[in-house]
């Protein structure tokens, strides 16, 4: 009986470990590419981003992005919204937008929306 309990606890630990690791794994450096849209025009963008835990389920975001027409420094804050989802805000050049991030292991899908445009990025480690 004791072996069955130990085996059950081990199996439970193996099952929960990836979920717990995924929720904490947004910390650190990410890079990737996507598109940004503004006034009907879409441009390719490449970004590097860093997420730094600042307390509880809150993370500071700093990012360096580049398109053919310029380079942009982006900063903001996101909060864990449950499961593999984060939401918050980012800003660059005085423009603020809402951000939603979905995490799947070492892959982030990032969507930014504002009154001036939108962006969609795929980031990985």
> Is residue 17, in this structure, part of any structural domain at all?
no
> Looking at residue 17, what is its pLDDT?
37
- Please give the tally of structural domains in the chain: 1
Domain for residue 18, yes or no?
no
Question: 24 pLDDT exceeds 80?
Answer: no
CA distance 107 to 80: 16
Find out whether 99 and 88 touch, Cβ atoms under 8 Å. Answer: yes
Tell me, yes or no, whether 15 lies in a domain.
no
Cα–Cα separations (whole angstroms), residue 6 to 14, 21, 72: 12, 22, 53
In a domain, 7, yes or no: no
Specify the CATH number for the domain of residue 106: 2.40.128.120
Q: What is the pLDDT of residues 26-37, one digit of tens each?
A: 999 999 999 999
Task: Judge whether 13 lies within some domain.
Answer: no
Give residues with Cβ within 8 angstroms of 51, minimum separation 6: 26, 27, 28, 30, 59, 60, 61, 78
Residue 39 has what pLDDT?
87
Instruction: Give the global pTM.
Output: 0.79
- Domain containing 70 equals 26-124
Residue 62 pLDDT more than 90? yes
| Overall average pLDDT of the 53-59 stretch | 94
Whether 1 is in a domain gets the answer no
Q: Would you state the pLDDT for residue 40?
A: 86
User: Average pLDDT of 99-120?
Assistant: 96
Whether 62 is covered by a domain: the verdict is yes
> What pLDDT is recorded for position 44?
97
């Amino acid at each position: 009986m004791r072996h069955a309990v130990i085996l059950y606890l081990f199996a439970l630990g193996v099952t929960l470990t990836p979920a717990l690791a995924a929720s904490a794994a947004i910390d650190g450096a990410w890079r990737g590419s996507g598109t940004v849209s503004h006034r009907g025009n879409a441009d390719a963008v490449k970004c590097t981003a860093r997420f730094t835990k600042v307390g509880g389920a809150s993370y500071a975001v700093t990012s360096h992005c580049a398109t053919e027409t310029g380079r942009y420094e982006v900063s903001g804050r996101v909060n864990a919204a449950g499961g593999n989802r984060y939401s918050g805000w980012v800003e660059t050049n005085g423009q603020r937008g809402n951000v939603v991030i979905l995490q799947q292991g070492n892959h982030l899908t990032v969507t930014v929306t504002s009154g001036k445009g939108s962006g969609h990025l795929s980031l990985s480690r």
